[in-house]
Chains A and B, each alone.
Chain A
């Protein structure tokens, strides 16, 4: 027994890279999740976009009261509509309508408009709470016994519903994560299998060329991944009623480019490692970090600002944005073009890096 114990310790110690990965994985995972959910500076800064069409004292007072709880930025209505409805930079914009001050000071109820992107439900809910606080503060300043003077009309700029279901918020992200897990692991270990089976030397000297051979292998994984992603999302549609957007073409293309990125990530993992023992922990790091940064587990608007700022480095950020465009915003192919393009470039770039690295490290030239 002791002999086996010592032998196994020796074997583990020999594969130092696997050992490092095994230690680094939990540290990275814990750090990433903690960083995403908790920030020493108190979490994300909430930015409120305000359209002041009233230009009177009440709107100014409201904006000042809001400023006690969040960062207020003034914009014209058109600019606000683009920021919320097109660029999805903020979850909502508050429009103080013309004549608000006059009606408020006359003691007549007023209605302010909330332009929303329901895909960012968490931010909108936070904003609604702030509006209640603002109304309460304002009423307290004017007359502690006063009734609520302000009502809110919500206008969705990005889809045809005012609210999204919890399923719609969670199913796409978790589906993406499982596709990532399957594709990254499948691709990385599938490439190492060729070496374990002894078939790599034969592939290396085949007339077609090794790069084409690798692309063939990746193609099989890609097709499998696309099918898996489609099945998971169609399951979500059938059993949880989630929308898959207005355009089947956009849906298919999104699946295609997201899985391309995942396959290419698997290739890079395979290229960077010397065997399954190393590929598994590194693959796990890649999937967990990409999921956390890309907002697959939680909405991007609850994570700290620094994490949001670095999120464009992860293709999962664009994958999730594309998914939200389809599922939560009912967008079509034209409106998803930028996201699809970025993902395609990302996938191709990673593929080129992975191929070069794999050839350099594993073709034994």
Chain B
């Protein structure tokens, strides 16, 4: 698999603040690569450097071998961006917006109508193609924003938090469109601070925090790197309190107690579950019990020591 995007020790400073501190990545062609992290982690800045919008303070980035600073026009012809903010002309129709961005990205006249229709179909807006964007709901505008990034038929699409503020139905539309792109072999760099999105969509995930990549791999690889693989979630009765130190039990990696909710993380849940019942006299007070695999959220908390904040 060829490298669609490569970055080497990318850094970007704003005054004294280091927004990105040495990001090195290799993203394969046709891959959906998730850049996951809290707001302010440096995801958008990294994406902006790859998109050629801003120059790195130091380090390099290439898109299909084209350097984003020294071969900027060649790199731009290979990619398109759906910025975090809606990037649309409200008084134009959806079709007019798409046609404009198709022309802007040099789509030949002969292919333009077809490409615009394809983008409308991809984001499921063909039925509203000739309505003004100002009349669209937030979710529809988000989808059209994505459509504008597809209309030039790019080899790389950079999606910056494309589902922020989107209703579940529109989010599902966006996911479908992104999966459709992958099936066409388009490479996608997808930034998000929604863990579930990264889990559901991405082939590989890099977790960013404070300008650095702190973990990188497939979801399975990231989970393997965690000290726990399963989570035991217990809801206790209103009067119940654990009568022993749960974290000290053999096989328990970590424990969280939040009111009547107890979460116990372990590599294997089954033996720990038995010990929990025996040692802590919890059995009679358990209202609900659930065992689930650990999620990216668990990994994120393990890695950063903090919740993924909005």
Hey, which bits of chain A sit against chain B, CB under 8 A?
A: 197-199, 201-209, 213, 364-365
- Bound Cα distance from A197 to B101, whole angstroms: 14
Docked-complex contact A205 and B53, CB < 8 angstroms: yes
Residues of B within 8 Å of A197, CB to CB, are: 86-90
Docked-complex contact B88 and A198, CB < 8 angstroms: yes
Residues of A within 8 Å of B53, CB to CB, are: 201, 204-205, 364
Contact with A along B52-63 (1 / 0, CB 8 A): 111100000000
- B85 contacts the other chain (CB 8 A): yes
Residues of A within 8 Å of B86, CB to CB, are: 197-198
User: How close is A218's CB to chain B, nearest CB, in angstroms?
Assistant: 16
Residues of B within 8 Å of A207, CB to CB, are: 73, 76-77, 105-106
User: How close is B162's CB to chain A, nearest CB, in angstroms?
Assistant: 13
Docked-complex contact B81 and A205, CB < 8 angstroms: yes
Residues of B within 8 Å of A209, CB to CB, are: 73
Q: Total A-B pairs in contact (CB under 8 Å)?
A: 50
- B138 contacts the other chain (CB 8 A): no
Residues of A within 8 Å of B76, CB to CB, are: 205-207
User: How close is B150's CB to chain A, nearest CB, in angstroms?
Assistant: 13
Contact with A along B82-95 (1 / 0, CB 8 A): 01011111100000
User: How close is A82's CB to chain B, nearest CB, in angstroms?
Assistant: 53
| A201-B53, A202-B87, A365-B55 given; 4 more Cβ-contact pairs under 8 Å | A202-B101, A205-B53, A207-B76, A364-B48
Known contacts A206-B105, A207-B77; is A199 also within 8 Å of B87 by CB?
A: yes
Chain A residue with Cβ nearest B133: A197
| B53, B89, B90: most-surrounded residue (chain A CB, <10 A) | B53
User: How close is A219's CB to chain B, nearest CB, in angstroms?
Assistant: 14
Residues of B within 8 Å of A202, CB to CB, are: 81, 83, 87, 101, 104, 148
- B51 contacts the other chain (CB 8 A): yes
Chain A residue with Cβ nearest B74: A207
Hey, which bits of chain B sit against chain A, CB under 8 A?
A: 48, 51-55, 73, 76-77, 79, 81, 83, 85-90, 101, 104-106, 148
Residues of A within 8 Å of B87, CB to CB, are: 197-199, 201-202
User: How close is B56's CB to chain A, nearest CB, in angstroms?
Assistant: 11
Residues of B within 8 Å of A206, CB to CB, are: 76, 104-105
- Bound Cα distance from A199 to B100, whole angstroms: 12
Residues of B within 8 Å of A204, CB to CB, are: 53
Interface pairs (13), CB distance under 8 Å: A197-B90, A198-B86, A199-B88, A201-B81, A202-B148, A205-B51, A205-B52, A205-B79, A206-B104, A207-B76, A208-B104, A213-B104, A364-B54
Chain B residue with Cβ nearest A364: B54
Question: Of B54, B104, B106, which is within 8 A of A365 by CB?
Answer: B54
Residues of A within 8 Å of B90, CB to CB, are: 197
Chain B residue with Cβ nearest A207: B76
Docked-complex contact A198 and B85, CB < 8 angstroms: yes
Residues of A within 8 Å of B73, CB to CB, are: 207, 209
| A197, A199, A208: most-surrounded residue (chain B CB, <10 A) | A199
User: How close is B177's CB to chain A, nearest CB, in angstroms?
Assistant: 18
- Bound Cα distance from A206 to B48, whole angstroms: 13
- Bound Cα distance from A209 to B101, whole angstroms: 13
Residues of B within 8 Å of A205, CB to CB, are: 51-53, 76, 79, 81
Docked-complex contact B106 and A201, CB < 8 angstroms: no
Minimum-distance CB pairs A-B, first 6: A198-B85, A207-B76, A198-B87, A201-B83, A202-B87, A207-B77
- Bound Cα distance from A213 to B103, whole angstroms: 12
User: How close is B8's CB to chain A, nearest CB, in angstroms?
Assistant: 20
User: How close is A86's CB to chain B, nearest CB, in angstroms?
Assistant: 49
Chain A residue with Cβ nearest B52: A205
| A197, A202, A208, A213: most-surrounded residue (chain B CB, <10 A) | A202
Residues of A within 8 Å of B105, CB to CB, are: 206-207
| B55, B79, B83: most-surrounded residue (chain A CB, <10 A) | B83
- Bound Cα distance from A202 to B103, whole angstroms: 13
- Bound Cα distance from A180 to B83, whole angstroms: 35
- Bound Cα distance from A199 to B89, whole angstroms: 7
Chain B residue with Cβ nearest A208: B104
Chain A residue with Cβ nearest B141: A198
Chain B residue with Cβ nearest A213: B104
